[in-house]
């Protein structure tokens, strides 16, 4: 199984065009780090137990029938392993996977080119699939349903429509916003599944596995300390392993213990619930300036100097999951638990001040 990523080259060149002095070596380093720790089988893929059992059965049935898998849609907050899971599926099916993202498929020829390059049984993974433009989406409809492309030739009165057959393939789409997908596109997926936040126990296993791959010494309590502050997200847990390892190497003997992990994470301004300074600033803003809410997301973004999508995709999912933030028809508001977490002495007293 080989992985071909069509958006790496595009991302690097877009970055160079916007900022010619930026060094894209860091992009390669991060990508290599992610690839080095990605599981290659269901046995090494930690978490998402119910989904794994469903996929094992589906894959086994497809192999016995000697047909490609049904199209799959994975949705949920970022960092939960959607791309990794697609790679595991390709490995188990014994086929190649081509990885791209919706923003990279701006022109019709982009999506047509990648579809025409597919071979029988291959997997096409499209990240952020909710961001596909209308033209690309319409090209996908017959490709997903009938494994064909509808193309036009000629001009004016001589226009003809040709149906070009495609080899049977599997499309795996990933999105953080399943509701943003159009009905016709969503209905063409045979399997739709939400990825859930990880438990601390599962994240502790992720931390120990990553530390083992990177040859980092860590004890059980150190792994639990990192897992506790990882916001239920494997990607964050893996990133924190590197940061805590750096701290342990400089400030101690290189071994990650509970004490070292807690000290390192305190330096990084990550509290015991995994909230960073941006999360806490968001909650404090709503409490101090807007009486705990409700307040619109655009107002929050402007006041914090953050992008709306950053707040919606990065900050909010975990704050909502943790019960610290609430969405209402009138906007966002904090919960009583947020007052307690931020050490506001009395929730009722704080409310009465406004």
The residue from 38, 82, 98, 231 that is catalytic is: 82
Would you call 31 a catalytic residue per the annotation?
no
pLDDT of 354 > 50? The answer is no
Would you call 83 a catalytic residue per the annotation?
yes
Q: What is the number of domains present in the chain?
A: 3
Residue 272 included in any domain: no
Q: Which CATH number belongs to the domain containing residue 211 in this structure?
A: 1.10.8.60
pLDDT of 156 > 90? The answer is no
- Reference 170, options 126, 106, 135; nearest CA is 126
d(CA 49, CA 65): 25
Q: Are residues 88 and 235 in the same domain?
A: no
pLDDT digits over 104-129, tens only?
998 888 999 999 999 999 999 999 99
pLDDT of 48 > 70? The answer is yes
The residue from 6, 38, 83, 98 that is catalytic is: 83
Q: Which residues contact 341 (CB under 8 A, 6 or more apart)?
A: 273, 275, 283, 324
Q: Kindly state the percentage of the chain with pLDDT values over 70.
A: 86
Would you call 127 a catalytic residue per the annotation?
yes
Mean pLDDT, the chain, whole residue set: 86
Q: Are residues 223 and 140 in the same domain?
A: no
Q: Are residues 24 and 172 in the same domain?
A: yes
The residue from 38, 98, 235, 332 that is catalytic is: 235
Q: Are residues 59 and 92 in the same domain?
A: yes
If you average pLDDT over residues 250-264, what whole number do you get? 94
Q: What's the whole-model pTM score? A: 0.81
Domain that holds residue 179: 3-194
If you average pLDDT over residues 67-86, what whole number do you get? 93
pLDDT the model gives residue 16: 35
DSSP state of 69: P
Last residue of a domain, one of 136, 170, 194: 194
Q: Are residues 61 and 102 in the same domain?
A: yes
Strand, helix or coil for residue 154: coil
**258-267 and 234-251 helices, crossing angle to 10°:** 100
- When comparing pLDDT for 284 and 38, which is higher? 284
Question: What is the DSSP pairing of strand 160-165 with strand 148-153?
Answer: antiparallel
Strand, helix or coil for residue 192: strand
Confidence grade of residue 17 (pLDDT, cut at 50, 70, 90): very low
Would you call 176 a catalytic residue per the annotation?
yes
pLDDT the model gives residue 1: 57
Would you call 170 a catalytic residue per the annotation?
no
Q: Are residues 143 and 262 in the same domain?
A: no
Q: Are residues 206 and 132 in the same domain?
A: no
Q: Are residues 16 and 145 in the same domain?
A: yes
Q: Are residues 144 and 170 in the same domain?
A: yes
Q: Are residues 106 and 226 in the same domain?
A: no
pLDDT the model gives residue 203: 96
The residue from 100, 170, 175, 176 that is catalytic is: 176
Q: Which CATH number belongs to the domain containing residue 305 in this structure?
A: 1.10.10.10
pLDDT digits over 203-216, tens only?
999 999 999 999 99
Residue 184 included in any domain: yes
Confidence grade of residue 25 (pLDDT, cut at 50, 70, 90): very low
pLDDT the model gives residue 106: 87
pLDDT of 11 > 70? The answer is no
Q: Are residues 190 and 208 in the same domain?
A: no
Q: Are residues 309 and 169 in the same domain?
A: no
Last residue of a domain, one of 249, 267, 285: 267
């Amino acid at each position: 199984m080989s992985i071909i990523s069509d958006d790496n080259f595009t991302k690097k060149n877009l970055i160079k065009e916007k900022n010619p002095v930026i060094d894209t070596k860091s992009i390669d380093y991060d990508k290599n780090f992610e690839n080095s720790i990605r599981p290659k089988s269901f046995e090494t893929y930690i978490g998402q137990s119910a989904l794994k059992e469903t996929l094992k059965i589906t894959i086994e049935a497809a192999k016995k029938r000697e047909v490609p898998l049904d199209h799959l849609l994975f949705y949920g907050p970022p960092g939960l392993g959607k791309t990794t899971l697609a790679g595991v599926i390709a490995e188990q099916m014994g086929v190649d996977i081509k990885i791209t993202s919706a923003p990279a498929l701006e022109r019709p020829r982009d999506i047509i080119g990648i579809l025409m390059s597919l071979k029988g049984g291959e997997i096409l993974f499209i990240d952020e699939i909710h961001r596909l433009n209308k033209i690309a989406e319409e090209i996908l409809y017959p490709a997903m349903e009938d494994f064909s492309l509808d193309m036009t030739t000629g001009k004016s009165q001589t226009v003809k429509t040709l149906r070009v057959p495609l080899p049977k393939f599997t499309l795996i789409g990933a999105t953080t916003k399943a509701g943003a997908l159009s009905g016709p596109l969503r209905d063409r997926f045979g399997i739709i599944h939400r990825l859930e936040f990880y438990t601390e126990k599962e994240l502790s296993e992720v931390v120990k596995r990553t530390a083992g791959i990177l040859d980092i010494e860590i004890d059980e309590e150190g792994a639990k300390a990192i897992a506790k502050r990882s916001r239920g997200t494997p990607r964050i847990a893996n990133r924190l392993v590197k940061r805590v390892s750096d701290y342990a190497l400089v400030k101690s003997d290189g071994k990650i213990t509970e004490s070292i992990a807690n000290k390192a994470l305190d330096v990084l301004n990550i509290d015991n619930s995994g909230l960073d300074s941006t999360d806490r600033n968001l909650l404090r803003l709503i409490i101090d300036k807007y009486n705990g809410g409700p307040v619109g997301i655009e107002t929050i973004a402007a006041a914090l100097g953050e992008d709306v999508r950053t707040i919606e995709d990065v900050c909010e999912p975990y704050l909502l999951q943790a019960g610290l933030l609430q969405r209402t028809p009138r906007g966002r508001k904090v919960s009583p638990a947020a007052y307690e977490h931020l050490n506001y002495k009395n929730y009722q007293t704080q409310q009465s001040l406004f």
